[in-house]
Amino acid sequence: MNIARLNMCHSTREWHRNAIQAIRRLNEEKGFCISVMIDTAGSGFPMLDHGSSSSIKTEDGSLWLFTSQKLKGSPFTIQVSAEGFSEGILVGDELVIDGGMATFEVVEKIENDLHCRCTNPGLLLPQAKLSLWRNGNLVTWNTTLQALKGKCISTQDWKDIDFGIAEGVDFVSISFVNDASDIKRLKGYLSSRSVEFTGVLAKIESLKSLEHLQDIIEASDGIIIARGDLGVQVSLEEIPAIQLRITQLCRQLNKPVIVASQLLESMVEYPIPTRAEVADVSEAVRQYADGLMLSGESAIGSFAEKALSVMKIASEQMESSNRRELCQSFIYQPLLAESSVGKIAEQICKSAVEMANNLGVDAIFVYTKRGQMASLLSRNRPNPPIFAFTDDAGARKAMTLLWGVFPLEIHFSDDLEFNFEEITRRLKVRGCLKLGDLILVVCDSDVGGFNVLPLFRSIQIRAIV
């Protein structure tokens, strides 16, 4: 586990604060480097509350009341978060839960309440999302939510972001991003608060975000492909191609990408996933996504640890296959930098990865101040693991999202040999290295005892003795 995602739709501030403190204690006591991400609610869909802390099943033909009134605990009653949510809804319309987990047909409308019949039984998760369909087409809500159109960061989101800043979280993910201006606005706000290493991730889950995809990716520090909500707005058969398009574009632009939603959905209830779900996880790994995100499987599921174990085993198996394929064909990525210094850094990292693969080295060391060189190495997806060393705790946390990178914090000495010996000693103790291992060392400017000019970053090959 690299990042703990806290969904601000759920639980209380006190619960989130306690979770953050627990993660930090584990980082200190166990030597972990688990970053913390808060996920804002956004203003895309109304939220539902059925009064239970766990999922409940619906039955075909059962009758339910959808209301904005607080009737918590009443059987067959669902409270909708938005006032006036039923405006414009007609008898015969369909209410779809979480992109198809369950479907209800509106059979009667009494003032602001809807009486509905379940036509597609399934699971109702706590704080599920509601979408409206008419004659097979998605309908925009004609409610107070319409006033939020164009605003992906709500008033409540800003309060949650302030909470995250106060707690020193490492990432903020923004839901229902419409265009790059949403990301730039939040980044400007973080800058005004002197928040340096809090990354901004954009969740791609709407048609508007797909229309401005490249601009959003370029403006953000990473992307989350929220396939569940995206599947509400586009046909299901389009999702695999969209996922591939986003992962490839993110890699070209050197931005981390997380594949999320329903990866092991059946493990919310069952201890064994379907074979199709394992294949889905493996395909995301084959596409070189930087991260895979569990949601309900770990948040409310009965087999959270097992789900994580399945994810790990399936990922490692596919990564081994990827390495064999990569040995046969090394894929260069186009240069992104405009300055000479940036182009040199990119070319060095490309050459370093090709050298590491051809020589069969056991690990890549990179000494980096802010993580940029580690990012460029990761972009080229080398066979050996990348151990990134920095003297900045914030930079270390930021690197947890990078593919194949294991970030470690270390105090840099001016003595190159001391740095190398201290690092190798720590990694041998952890079982990451052994005598005789071959290491490729890459250094950013003026760190790790290299003291090189920015235009002359260094590559070395060392052996563990």
| SS3 of residue 10 by DSSP | coil
Inside any domain, residue 70: yes
Look at residue 332 in the predicted model and tell me its pLDDT: 63
In a domain, 11, yes or no: no
Q: How far apart are CA 46 and CA 145, in angstroms?
A: 8
Q: Which residues contact 328 (CB under 8 A, 6 or more apart)?
A: none
Predicted pLDDT at 356: 94
Residues 136 and 170 in one domain: no
Is the pLDDT at 453 greater than 60, yes or no? no
Residue 176: its pLDDT value, please? 86
241 is a domain residue:
yes
Q: Are residues 350 and 457 in the same domain?
A: yes
Of the candidates 147, 162, 179, which is a domain's last residue?
147
Is the residue at 131 inside a domain? Answer: yes
Residues 186 and 177: their CA atoms lie apart, in Å, by 11
The CATH number covering residue 217 comes to 3.20.20.60
114 and 206 belong to one structural domain: no
Tell whether 128 is covered by a domain.
Answer: yes
Q: Are 227 and 195 in contact (CB under 8 A)?
A: no
Rounded Cα–Cα distance for residues 421 and 206 (Å): 50
Partnered with residue 67 across adjacent β-strands are 79
Domain boundary among 300, 327, 354: 327
Query: Could you tell me if residue 445 is inside a domain?
Result: yes
The string over 363-388, giving b where at least 16 C-beta atoms fall within 10 Å of a residue's C-beta and e elsewhere, is: bbbbbbbbbbbbbbbbbbbbbbebbb
Residue at 351 is within a domain: yes
pLDDT of 447 over the 60 cut: no
Q: 150-159, 269-278, 342-351, 367-376: which range is least confident on average?
A: 150-159
Six-digit token string for 100: 């198809």
Q: Which of 327, 361, 383 is the last residue of a domain?
A: 327
Determine what percent of the chain falls in helix, strand and coil, rounding each to the nearest 5: 40, 25, 40
Per-residue pLDDT at 73 exceeds 70:
no
167 occurs within a structural domain: yes
127 and 172 share one domain: no
Packing angle, helices 275-286 and 239-252, rounded to 10? 30
The pLDDT of 425-429, averaged and rounded, is 89
Separation of alpha carbons 65 and 87, rounded Å: 16
* Encoded tokens for 387: 């151990």
Residue 275 has pLDDT above 50, yes or no: yes
165 burial class (0-12, 13-18, 19+ CB within 10 angstroms)? middle
- Range with the largest mean pLDDT of 80-89, 138-147, 151-160: 151-160
Contacts 24+ apart (CB under 8 A), 6-9: 6/36, 6/37, 6/38, 6/39, 6/169, 7/39, 7/295, 7/299, 8/38, 8/39, 8/40, 8/41, 8/157, 8/160, 9/39, 9/41, 9/47, 9/127
* pLDDT at residue 49 in the model: 79
* pLDDT value of position 313: 95
Distance between CA atoms of residues 240 and 11, nearest Å:
32
E-state strands within 84-216: 94-97, 102-110, 113-120, 123-124, 130-134, 137-139, 171-174, 199-204
Mean pLDDT score of the chain: 87
Q: Which of 11-20, 83-92, 201-210 has the lowest mean pLDDT?
A: 83-92
71, 48 contact by CB (below 8 A): no
Q: Is the pLDDT of residue 113 over 60?
A: yes
* Residue 176 near residue 152, CB atoms below 8 Å: yes
Average pLDDT over every residue of 220-244: 90
Q: Kindly state the average pLDDT of the residues 334-345.
A: 84
Per-residue exposure over 200-227, b if at least 16 CB sit within 10 Å of its own CB, e if not: bbbbbbbebbbebbeebbebbbbbbbbb
Q: Do both 121 and 260 map to the same domain?
A: no
Q: Which two tokens stand for residue 241?
A: 């191609």
Q: Who has greater pLDDT, 49 or 227?
A: 227
Q: Check whether residue 262 and residue 137 sit in a common domain.
A: no
pLDDT higher than 90, residue 229: no
Q: Indicate whether 68 and 131 sit together in one domain.
A: yes
Residue matched to tokens 């972990």: 32
If asked whether residues 351 and 254 sit together in one domain, one would say no
Note the pLDDT of residue 103.
Answer: 93
Q: What is the CATH number of the domain that holds 111?
A: 2.40.33.10
pTM, rounded to two decimals: 0.85
Residue 368: pLDDT over 80 = yes
- Domain hosting 118: range is 48-147
**What was the pLDDT predicted at 326?**
57
Percent of the chain with pLDDT over 70: 91
Number of domains in the chain: 3
How many C-beta atoms surround the C-beta of residue 196 within 10 A? 12
- Total residues found in the chain within this entry: 465
Are both 195 and 228 inside the same structural domain?
yes
- What is the C-alpha to C-alpha distance for residues 5 and 298, in angstroms, rounded to an integer? 11
Query: HSE (CB half, 13 Å, CA atoms) of 202?
Result: 30
Task: Supply the CATH number for residue 365's domain.
Answer: 3.40.1380.20
Do 441 and 351 lie in one domain? The reply is yes
For residues 288 and 212, state if they share a domain: yes
pLDDT at 454 over 60: no
438-443: strand order across its sheet = 405-409, 386-390, 363-367, 438-443, 458-463
Residues 157 and 255 in one domain: yes
- What is the token pair recorded at 43? 């203003």
For the chain, what percent of residues have pLDDT higher than 90?
56
**What is the average per-residue pLDDT within 373-393?**
93
